[in-house]
Copies of this chain bind each other. A is one copy, B any other.
């Protein structure tokens, strides 16, 4: 049986694939969310985007910075800052042959913490809700990084 086919049979790999898809699709939602607010509030970054909105009027009026849009963008950037390490560390963690239950625990907590983070950021909920959700995801990444370095490191 070919190598690649065996991946689709590994439960640890399938769990990883599932949660990677969940967090990356959630992250992609932030792009739509930014577009939605840009169009709804008439707040654009590029003159060519504001053309349709200006309807022949002054385009520059719509090239501005809006706090709601900036909040969504900060939330998106925070996702990138944390989901990139999750995907990278998660992948090599899975290939370091962890226990299924331990791996699932990592992936579930991370995905939950990032969804809670987005809700805390966009509502916004009073602190420390956002800080807490951020740190839970952060610690999951640290734990996978530690597991990799302590089990298969080769400097």
Contacts and interface: CB of A to CB of B under 8 A. Distances in A.
A85 B51 contact: no
A4 B7 contact: yes
Copies in the complex: 3
Given A8-B95, A15-B154, A127-B49, A145 B24 contact: yes
Contacts of A30: 81
Most B Cβ at <10 Å: residue of A20, A21, A87, A91: A21
- Give the secondary structure class of A's interface: helix
Given A49-B130, A84-B87, 13 more contacts: A4-B12, A18-B149, A18-B154, A20-B92, A21-B89, A22-B149, A24-B84, A24-B88, A25-B142, A28-B141, A31-B138, A46-B124, A87-B88
